[in-house]
Amino acid sequence: MKKGILTLVFAVAFLFTGVMGVNAEEYGLEALAKLATEGGSLEIKAGDTIKVGEDVYVGDSEVALMNVTEGTATLTNKSGRIEIVLKGTAEVKGSKVIMQLPLQNSTLSIDLIVNEGSTLNVNGRMALPTGTKGTLVNNGTVNINGSLEVRADATYTGAGVTNLTGNFVIYGETNTLGTAKITLGEKGTVYSNADVTANLTYVEGFEAAPLETKVYKSITDEVGEKTFTNGYTTVKTEVEEPTEEPTEEVKDEETKDEVKDEEKNPQTSDGIVLTFVALAISGAVAIIAKKKLA
């Protein structure tokens, strides 16, 4: 009986493994070209992949431009631009220029929207490239632990939370952040050609400090090193209090304590008085005895 139950358990487990494998979809250039020309939507779940040539564009892979680890990323053709709506959690690793979709005869612009309650973790280096006017709208949470580059005609907007402990780079000459707030944590750094002071907030215990050097090396050779007009980083505001030396007042207190000790323990002073009295009596007795003998 037990053997039969074990066999059934293994059979069910194998069945589920097969179903999970079947559910994982892989889409290629043909599906993307169809999306670009005919419209419609394409939903990518955790485990699915989109491949463009040898590159994994979106999917569950270490080499994917954007790795969907939970929930879905839905691609929709919006008047010749591809909108990607993230509902869940995704991660960017390595050096990725993700905000454009290269097809055989054209490159499509990307609008990436992080929905409310969703999270995008930039653990590598990610760029919104020049030339496609790509947008990243953060209505959820974006954690920039690596680097995020917003190049000349790209925009980063949204009312979500942006936590920065890496690099945030703004190439354009005008502020494209709108009302977006960037919270700089420890070691967080902003390089910018525009004045974005109003968009910056700081974690408790830190404040703004200008960068000593504003040179930043881009994630791609075509941009290379660039010197920015503005640069911000964080410094600690907490100052350690110096150790205070004992004051004269403390010494006076010590003297008072000594007096108090003498008052509490008068045996020493009383002993001295008694010694003098005893000596005086002894001297008097000696004089009287001497007179009698005479």
Whether residue 197 is found in the same domain as residue 138: yes
Whether residue 51 is found in the same domain as residue 105: yes
Query: For 14-51, how does the pLDDT look when each residue is reduced to its tens digit (9 = 90+)?
Result: 233 333 344 788 888 788 878 888 888 989 888 888 87
What is the average pLDDT across 175-195? 94
The sign one gets for the Cα dihedral 144, 150, 154, 159 is: positive
Please return the burial class of 209, using the count of CB atoms within 10 Å of its CB with bins 0-12, 13-18 and 19+. Answer: middle
Q: Are 147 and 126 in contact (CB under 8 A)?
A: yes
Whether residue 181 is found in the same domain as residue 281: no
- Specify the number of domains making up the chain: 2
Q: Residues near 67 by Cβ (< 8 Å), separated by ≥ 6? A: 58, 59, 60, 61, 90, 91, 92, 93
Give the per-residue pLDDT at 251.
52
First to last CA, the chain: 134
What is the average pLDDT across 170-183? 93
In a domain, 6, yes or no: no
pLDDT band at 274 (very low <50, low <70, confident <90, very high): very low
Whether residue 259 is found in the same domain as residue 160: no
Coil/strand/helix, residue 262? helix
Whether residue 227 is found in the same domain as residue 261: no
Instruction: Give the global pTM.
Output: 0.71
Whether residue 231 is found in the same domain as residue 252: no
In a domain, 253, yes or no: yes
Is residue 101 over pLDDT 80?
no
Whether residue 287 is found in the same domain as residue 224: no
In a domain, 5, yes or no: no
What is the average pLDDT across 57-84? 82
Domain carrying residue 279: 248-293
Give the per-residue pLDDT at 17.
32
Whether residue 221 is found in the same domain as residue 78: yes
Query: For 219-260, how does the pLDDT look when each residue is reduced to its tens digit (9 = 90+)?
Result: 888 889 999 999 999 998 866 566 666 555 555 555 555 545
With tokens 């910056």, the residue in question is: 200
Give the per-residue pLDDT at 2.
43
In a domain, 147, yes or no: yes
More confident residue, 208 or 18: 208
In a domain, 1, yes or no: no
Give the per-residue pLDDT at 257.
57
Which among 189, 191, 199, 188 has a CA at the least distance from the CA of 165?
Answer: 188
In a domain, 181, yes or no: yes
Looking at the DSSP bridge assignments, the partners of residue 73 are: 44, 86
Whether residue 161 is found in the same domain as residue 253: no
More confident residue, 90 or 9: 90
Average pLDDT in the chain: 77
Whether residue 32 is found in the same domain as residue 87: yes
